[in-house]
A and B are shown apart, each in its own frame.
Chain A
Amino acid sequence: MVVKMMAAFRTPKRLNRSFAVSFILFAFLAVFGAFMALPLLYAVNNAFKPLDELFIFPPRFFVNNPTLDNFYDLIALMGNSWVPLSRYIANTLLITLIGTAGHILLASAAAYPLAKYNFLGSKALFSIVVLSLMFSGHVTAIPNYMVMSWLGWINSHASIIVPSLAFPLGLFLMKQFIEQLPTALLEAAKIDGASEYRIYWSIVMPNVKPAWLTLMILQFPALWGTDGGSFIYSENLKTLHYALGQITLGGIARAGVGAAVALILMVVPISLFIISQSSVIQTMATSGMKD
């Protein structure tokens, strides 16, 4: 039954799709979608609730008298802080942008030869990568710190950015995608005289655009949400997430501001997701491959 529904949905033209099937699928998506959207709606509503509504019992889902008080309070609080807010924003942007872009470049550059060429140790290398993914991160916390201090990167942005560049999942994901590209395409480019760099940049990367956009969507929120962990101590190097997190530590009295903070921190990754999703659709309209 489910498979049949899928099949009906799969056909590119609307000719075969009955109204009933569309309705069932829409209902299915709507029910699960509503489930997923509830926490977000709750967060948005909370951000606009005045203080008395935040603590109403039993808690209400929707806001009755929306107000911007929480945001004004937040601005007032940030104005008093010792390090200007713009500094925190700059730190977060630096970490997130370099970390995400660098990760995509390094992971795809490493994935291309691993997927398409056989050289000594390439298979072994890839197995180690996959196995290392399986290891729980908490245990490596102390050795990680020791490596950082040996490199002299404690209390610098490099301690966050550089490890994120080499995160194994990206390589794994990119390799699986590049492997699916027809080798004939790369050979054709080679015969036409393209250099390895050219093949990587003008053939491989455009053809796996959905893959690296996915990688971006994965990496961005992770770095955006970083609070510097145990590597950054100086206040002027801390991230936006850390600074806003500190504000909410004021306890119950800061509940309203906390809700505003949560909303602000969420907006950026969600907008990035929506933008990149629409550009995935655009690529596919133009990048049909001729075999």
Chain B
Amino acid sequence: MKPIAKRLFRSRTYNEQKALWGFMYVLPWLLGFLFFFLIPLLYSLQYSLSEIEANANGMTIKFIGFENFKEALTVNTSFNRILTESVIDMVVNVPLIVIFSLFLAVLLNQKFVGRGIARSIFFLPVILASGVIANLEAESLVQAINEQNATGGVFTTGTMELMTIMLNSGMNEDIVMYLMDAVERIYQIVSQSGVQILIFLAGIQTISPQLYEASKIEGATGYEAFWKITFPMVSPLILVNVIYTIIDSFSRNDMTTLIRETGFTSFNFGLSSAMAWIYFLVIMIILLISTYIISKRVFYQE
């Protein structure tokens, strides 16, 4: 409604002026985006449709149509399985992570002693996983310990023992496996929610305190305040978090590993690009569906 009203009441040149201003502000960012994200993306589309050979003159690119896509879907032994697994994993994990992080963000927004420390603790996995530690651990200490300790590190030892005890006490193997899976998933979800908690926290903090004051005067309970104020006000960020969670999962899922190995270990770059594009299309479809569902409920002020 708003843009129509504006067009009626304001002169055309002002609109053009505004468009120009808008474009000027976007331009620096747009240039960077074009060079470092869009152009490489288009190149990779070209690669996915070609056979690539590295030789003395650099690279030769031969167009072969959809051969790479066919190979990924019909010839490659692990692609289909890993694709389904990582998509199912994503569909299960993403809603859980988003709900859990919203819940924690609301908790961590309360005033209590040690709030700063609590927030930092939940953000730790992000720093630990950001590559600062990861490469170092892989090289020296943890590796050495893991080699000595066949059960595999300090932290998994506990659950492994628990599993053996439960199995020995005559519990059904399926139930034990299910429980172990759940425990592992909980840990996964908690450790992957750091950034999402932070985004929700920032969202909650931009809500004007007057809204809560007014609702309190009108006699709203805390429960109502959450569902009528906090939740609608942070709803635009649910989409951000869904998208962030999906991107974040790239850094550690099997699909990315397969794509990387095909590209850089067996040097089949065309096939690797084709795999990436199939994966990309599948994610895009999931995302379009979830965006459609979410955007129906998202609330924007005004």
Contacts and interface: CB of A to CB of B under 8 A. Distances in A.
A290 to B, nearest CB: 7
A232 interface: no
Interface of B: 2-3, 18-19, 21-23, 25-26, 28-33, 35-41, 43-44, 47, 103-104, 106-108, 110, 112, 116, 118-128, 130-133, 135-137, 139-141, 144-145, 148-149, 154-155, 187, 190-191, 195, 198-199, 201-203, 205-206, 208-210, 212, 216, 221-223, 225-226, 230, 233, 236-237, 239-240, 243-244, 246-247, 250, 255-256, 259-260, 263-264, 269, 272-273, 276, 279-280, 283-284, 287, 300-302
A171 interface: yes
Interface stretch (A71-79, A82-90, A111-119): A111-119
Contact of A25 (B107, B124, B155, B287): B107
Given A7-B222, A166-B36, A245-B136, A33 B199 contact: no
A255 B147 CA distance: 14
Contacts of A289: 208, 210
Given A136-B279, A143-B43, A280-B202, 19 more contacts: A6-B106, A10-B106, A29-B108, A29-B118, A109-B26, A112-B25, A117-B19, A119-B18, A130-B287, A139-B47, A140-B43, A141-B264, A166-B33, A169-B247, A180-B236, A182-B302, A224-B130, A273-B120, A291-B210
16 contacts: A10-B222, A33-B122, A40-B128, A114-B26, A130-B243, A130-B287, A139-B47, A144-B40, A151-B35, A163-B36, A177-B202, A183-B2, A210-B202, A214-B201, A225-B131, A280-B205
A202 interface: no
B202 A222 contact: no
Contact of B132 (A130, A182, A259, A266): A266
Contacts of B32: 106, 162-163, 165-166
Contacts of A122: 22, 26
A112 B132 CA distance: 32
Q: Main SS of chain B's interface residues? A: helix
Contact of A210 (B116, B206, B272): B206
Nearest to A10: B222
Contact of B302 (A29, A183, A274): A183
Closest 7 CB pairs of A and B: A166-B32, A113-B22, A7-B223, A143-B43, A10-B222, A119-B19, A143-B40
A259 B130 contact: no
B118 A33 contact: yes
Interface residues of A, number: 126
Contact of B136 (A4, A120, A262): A262
A193 interface: no
Among the interface residues B32, B154, B209, which one has the most CB atoms of the partner chain A within 10 A?
B32
A4 B137 CA distance: 42
Interface string A232-261: 000000000100110011011011001101
Given A2-B103, A37-B124, A217 B198 contact: yes
Interface string A37-58: 1111011001000000011011
Given A10-B223, A10-B230, A57-B149, A46 B302 contact: no
Contacts of B19: 117, 119-120
A168 B33 contact: yes
A180 B240 contact: no
Among the interface residues B106, B130, B190, B250, which one has the most CB atoms of the partner chain A within 10 A?
B130
Contacts of A262: 132-133, 136-137
Given A8-B222, A25-B107, A176-B237, A265 B133 contact: yes
B125 to A, nearest CB: 6
A277 B280 CA distance: 35
